[in-house]
Amino acid sequence: MAKKIKFKKNPTYEECFPRSEKKYKEVDFSSEYFETNHQKIKIPFRRISLKENTHHLDVYDSSGTQGINPNIGLPKIREEWISKRKKDKNPTQMYYAKNNIITPEMIFVSERENIDVEFVKSEIARGRAIIPSNKKHPELEPMIVGRNFAVKINANIGNSAVGSSIEEEVQKLQWATLWGADTVMDLSTGKNIRQTREWILRNSSVPIGTVPIYEALEKVNGKPEDLTWEIFRETLIDQAEQGVDYFTIHAGVLLRFIPKTSERMTGIVSRGGSIMAKWCLSHHEENFAYTHWDDICRICAKYDISFSIGDGLRPGSIYDANDEAQFDELKIQGELTKRAWEFNVQVMNEGPGHVPIHMIKENMEKQLDWCHEAPFYTLGPLTTDIAPGYDHITSAIGAANIGSFGCALLCYVTPKEHLGLPNRKDVKDGVIAYKIAAHAADLAKQHPNAKNWDDEISSARFEFRWEDQFNLSLDPVTAREFHDETLPHSNAKVAHFCSMCGPKFCSMKISEEIREMAKNKNQNEQVIMLEGMKEKAKEYNKMNTES
Ligand code: SF4
């Protein structure tokens, strides 16, 4: 990060979230094992002020410290925590959890999620949850991925050979986390991969994941057959030293599975999967990531890098969903998961892809069974192939579905999927679509902290507190803009209707009146509602006859 770069600014936190304030909860951490006494841990959250500041709602906040010059980078909040771990050769969260030791990271996520820290520790020890947190990424605000916690979302960024710059990628990172991305994958394949990653890491408060085979491929001028274990290993260590928190490694793409993709409509659609498959075929040898898995585990254990074991043979079309190649690889993911746990490396498994709704559940059930309940991390899945330009929607449907069955991390898809490199607007659209999917899944799973947000916004809506309704939404600015498009005046913010149904047909207003009448007349609400509806029907019919 030596060179100074002039960065374009995103809209600020205050502009994006009016009447919201970033706040921190402070907790004390003392540990005999880490020789720490009363260390302060500050956990961020967003406070939304309501009812003209007489009431508030606190929500999860992944946006990181605001107003920082990217040339300087974020504050290193974990530096002191990590410095206490020098005596441990493999200081992974799983190692500590198995040895009954609570880390500051565990405290951080338990406070963030409002869940008991002993439970956090036991889920990590069991492999059912992970805290991706490389010891070389001190800027990180820890988060947890596991099916007994809030469903999280990942945003992909990164340049390609035909576009983008360091400025744009850092800006996308800040933009994605501002809107709620819990992790970010840097999938750069263009120029300056290493340098771009350095800028991203030093400015990221969320875990950063990569697919190291992309950079290894750059080192051999894009020829998969020229890759070697040594080049791959060197790439892993370099990225580990920089602070990458999780690696996607396609070690489950085995030589014997590749012929099974020949009957597919869309072959192998994972970039990493196709690179490994080409290497295996050209050498007629087993995947070097598979044969060197224990060596890779040793590297990851040293830094506490989590695995996101890749699904290189995921289906790329509805036609190919849930086929033999896909499930053969999933079984190998289970074997690799167990081996990684022996090294105390934290693991999640990647999943599809393109899957119609009725075939989604099978993916979750098989993953839980074959991969020993390690967290599942899926791309969507896209539930239909017919809507290029809207794949944030086709996939958010699948994401909500699989999230409700227990998928822990949902990788977003933007409207540009299959069409081009996403820009800043696409990143926001993808993040919002996936925040909806994750929250819908939390509601379906009856997560204890999910429903109160819905209840707050529903009550604001019913009481015509327009400002509160805007400010409680995932995207307050858009909600306000849509309202103001037809009713921009300030008195419309106290009106008991909007332009959708107009003043006479506002059902919320009618219900309000019915309640009032019922209260006054002490009558049953349902009877009154029927009377009210008959009355409105008469008005409507009259209007239609007159027009
Ligand atoms: S006018 Fe219709 S859409 Fe608008 S607040 Fe009333 S019921 Fe809701």
- The token pair that represents 279 in the structure block: 């290497």
Pocket of ligand 1 (CB under 6 A): 497-498, 500-501, 506-508
First to last CA, the chain: 69
The C-alpha atoms of residue 87 and residue 68 are separated, in whole angstroms, by: 33
Helix/strand/coil for 8: coil
The distance of Cα 324 from the centroid of its chain, to the nearest Å, equals 28
Centroid of ligand 1 to alpha carbon of 419 (angstroms): 37
For residues 145, 206, 139, 62, the Cα torsion angle rounded to the nearest 10 degrees is -100
Task: State residue 1's pLDDT score.
Answer: 63
pLDDT in the model for residue 226? 97
**CA 504 to centroid of ligand 1, rounded, Å:** 10
pLDDT of residue 11: 94
How far apart (Å, rounded) are the C-alpha atoms in residues 330 and 536? Answer: 58
Position in ligand 1 atom list of the atom nearest CA 508: 7
Of all atoms in ligand 1, which is nearest to the CA of residue 505? 1
3-state SS record for 124-143:
HHHCCEECCCCCCCCCCCCC
Q: Give the mean pLDDT per block of 10 residues along the chain (547 residues).
A: 77 96 97 95 98 94 95 96 93 98 98 97 98 98 98 92 83 96 94 92 98 96 97 98 98 97 94 96 97 98 98 96 97 98 98 97 98 97 98 98 98 95 93 98 94 97 96 97 92 90 91 87 70 72 63
| Residue 534 CA to ligand 1 centre (angstroms) | 19
Minimal-distance CA residue to ligand 1 atom 4:
498
Q: Give the model's pLDDT for residue 262.
A: 93
CA-CA-CA-CA dihedral for 297, 298, 304, 306, to nearest 10: -10
DSSP assignment string, 218-287: HHTTT-GGG--HHHHHHHHHHHHHHT--EEEE-TT--GGGGGGGTTSSS----HHHHHHHHHHHHHTS--
Q: In which element (H, E) is residue 431 found? A: helix 424-444
3-state secondary structure 467-479: HHHHHHCCCHHHH
Q: How far is the centre of ligand 1, averaged over its atoms, from the C-alpha of 507 (Å)?
A: 6
Handedness of CA 177, 404, 360, 429 (dihedral sign): negative
Structure tokens at 263: 């009957």
CA neighbours closer than 13 Å in the CB half-sphere of residue 490: 0
The pair of three-digit structure tokens given for residue 70, joined into one six-digit string = 């990217």
Residue 494 DSSP SS3: coil
Contact between 62 and 43 under an 8 Å Cβ cutoff? The reply is: no
Which residue is closest in CA terms to ligand 1's atom 3?
Answer: 500
pLDDT at 418 (0 to 100): 92
Beta pairing, strands 36-50 & 20-31: antiparallel
Dist CA 487 CA 417 (whole Å): 35
